[in-house]
Amino acid sequence: MSSAYVRLRSALYRPWLMATLAAVACAALLLSASFGLVMHQVQQTEIEQMNARGDRFLDRLEQIFGQLRESVDLLNEQNLRGCGPAMTAALQQVGFDNRFVYDAVYNDGEQSCSSRPAEAGTLAMRAPDIKGPTYSYWLNTTTQPDDNLAALRLGRGPFSVSTSRGHLTDVVDLAPGGSLLVVLDKGKRAVPVLGPAQAWPPASDWPPPSQQPLLVTRDSLIYRMFTKSPDYQLVLIAPRTNLLPKMNAALWALFPGSLLLAGFVGWMVLELVHERRSLSNELQGALRRGELKVLYQPIFDLNSRRCVGAEALVRWRRPDGTLTSPDLFIPMAENTGQIREITDFVLQQLLEQLGQLLRANPHLYVSVNLAAVDVMVPRIGRVVARLLAQHRVSAHQIAFEVTERGLIDVVVARDNLQALRDVGHQVLIDDFGTGYCSLAYLQTLPVDCLKIDKAFIDALGHDAASSGVAPHIIRMAHALQLRVIAEGIELEAQALLLSSEGVNYGQGWLFAHPLNARQFSELVTRGRRLAGRRIDDEA
């Protein structure tokens, strides 16, 4: 573990700093998500409104053009020519019979009359904007400056009919700054029918390859109304509005809600860190007060059922008699660096308690668990060498267990573990199969023994997916000439099955519960199994 990482962890391991960082990170995440949700909702509403507006415009335009064509066709079918009372009556009748006809005009170049006499002759000086084989079209024929462009006129022969702006906008209003455009010259020119002129083309790749009617750009919503005529197309353009004012109260409530939730997360982190810091302080006091105890889980030869060693376990019993789970205080000790002191305490205790037993039984060994912080540095070798010299115990009688998860840097770990083996210590891989140690790495590590995790032992003889893991690990260990210890053996059938698979050693409640030093010494000296009490009855 690098010194930079240790310094960074120490810097961050401050309650208020960690709580503040957690609250800020949570607030940023929640606010970003809330803002994104709000923006997406408003944009979807904007797009849906534009689609609805475009659909209504298209329906109305189809109705208007249908009536204009029917009206001008009807006038052409009549034999009336010239401006007389009969022509005026016919023109007025067309306007009366058709809702969307605002004005009907007769203009043969010499005479001009209208259903609205005051507007007759307004087209005499203007050529049609679109001239088709049957119909001609005039755009923006209104004479009223405040009508915002409005009218459309359709002509056939000497007759023409027009619609007003109100006929186009009585079902839907244009969005502020929006326009209804007639696109001419194969998309090169656009004439506004309603609303102001717009920059054209509205996009660099116009016309777009997509056939979807709605095109969304950064600044505009563009609704294309496809027509059957190749001479023109209709386009409705609305500018993208400022979305923030459109956010309703329900969506805005997400923002204070996000801040409240972020504050709650920060408070929870603060409480958790305080609890861990409190636990850390209590652990430091427990070491001084002698509340930590070392127990020994015996390891047996599966064939002879004789004890060959033990695994040293540390337990914390509070003054009120309650036990603190190792799953709680060991990870915390690893994070705070107190695990070094605990490891040194375990080594010192086991040599003080079992030094004489180990000297009298040279074949016996005790294994001690090493945390990642001690696997990655050579410190532990110096500590154990001093204690072994003090108690006159051989190095091969102290083994070290490392987990796969503790091998953060395999190259550095290999060098430090090899240094321990060079002076005679055994090295065991604990809980094998639950970490990430590959076979390629295992072949290069200085290892004497693999310990199979209890979860794989429990699966033996069952149809569980992991039932074949233990036999696989056993075969692999034998191929690498490694010894195997099975953990968590609780049934005789498990012991017999493991023995038949070539496993020589095992530990578990079938043989003995974790024992104190006196009980373990009796077990070894008498050469018999003890039905030890449960862990929470020890120490």
Model pLDDT, residue 274: 52
Are 230 and 317 in the same domain?
no
Q: What is the DSSP letter of 185?
A: G
Separation of CA 499 from chain center: 47
> Domain range spanning residue 431?
292-537
> Rounded to whole angstroms, how far apart are CA atoms 418 and 530?
36
In a domain, 78, yes or no: yes
State if pTM tops 0.75.
Answer: no
For the chain, the domain total comes to 2
**Is residue 381 in a domain?**
yes
Same domain, 93 and 232: yes
Helix axes 339-360, 517-526, angle to 10 degrees: 30
pLDDT of residue 395: 95
Is 273 contained in some domain? Answer: no
> What is residue 163's DSSP assignment?
E
One domain, residues 233 and 305: no
Q: Are residues 156 and 85 in the same domain?
A: yes
Positive or negative, the CA dihedral 467, 479, 485, 496 is positive
What pLDDT, on a 0 to 100 scale, did the predictor assign at position 516? Answer: 93
Residue 252 lies in a domain: no
Query: Do 300 and 219 share a domain, yes or no?
Result: no
Among all chains, which residue has been given the structure tokens 């961050």?
12
Both 13 and 92 in a single domain? Answer: yes
Residue 233: beta bridge partners? 183
**403, β-bridge pairs:** 430
User: What is the Cα 173 distance to its own chain's centre?
Assistant: 42
Residue 355 has a CB neighbour count (10 Å cut-off) of 17
The reply to whether 449 and 305 lie within a common domain is yes
The residue among 66, 68, 69 whose CA lies nearest residue 58 is 66
Q: What is the pLDDT of residue 215?
A: 79
Same domain, 125 and 70: yes
Angstrom distance (rounded) from CA 220 to CA 237: 7
Q: What is the 3-state secondary structure (H, E, C) of 369-415?
A: ECCHHHHCCCHHHHHHHHHHHHHCCCHHHEEEEEEHHHCCCHHHHHH
Residues 6+ apart with CB under 8 A from 454: 487, 488, 508
- Domain end position, chosen among 246, 262, 280: 246
Residue 254 in domain: no
CA–CA gap between residue 493 and residue 473 (Å, rounded): 19
Tokens coding 98: 């058709």
d(CA 530, CA 250): 69
3-class DSSP assignment, residue 234: strand
Find tokens 């990642």 and name the residue.
372
Residue type, position 330, single letter: I
H-run or E-run covering 293: strand 292-301
Distance CA 483, CA 40 (A): 62
Task: Look at residues 246, 263, 280 and tell me which one is the last residue of a structural domain.
Answer: 246
On whether residue 266 sits in a domain, the answer given is no
Q: Give the integer Cα–Cα distance in Å for 148 and 168.
A: 12
Provide the pLDDT for residue 534.
Answer: 41
142: tokens are: 């209104």
Euclidean distance between CA atoms 266 and 401, whole angstroms: 38
User: Mean pLDDT in each 10-residue stretch from start to end of the chain (539 residues)?
Assistant: 49 58 70 69 74 78 85 88 87 88 85 76 65 81 56 85 79 74 79 79 75 77 74 78 52 66 64 57 72 92 93 85 79 81 92 94 94 87 94 95 78 89 93 62 83 85 66 86 91 91 92 93 75 42
Residue 355 belongs to a domain:
yes
Whether residues 301 and 236 share a domain: the answer is no
In a domain? residue 156:
yes
CATH code at 533?
A: 3.20.20.450
Q: Indicate whether 300 and 234 sit together in one domain.
A: no
Is the domain of 370 the same as that of 315? Answer: yes
Do 421 and 489 fall into the same domain? yes
Domain's final residue, options 191, 218, 246: 246
Residue 241 backbone phi and psi in degrees, to 5: -90, 170
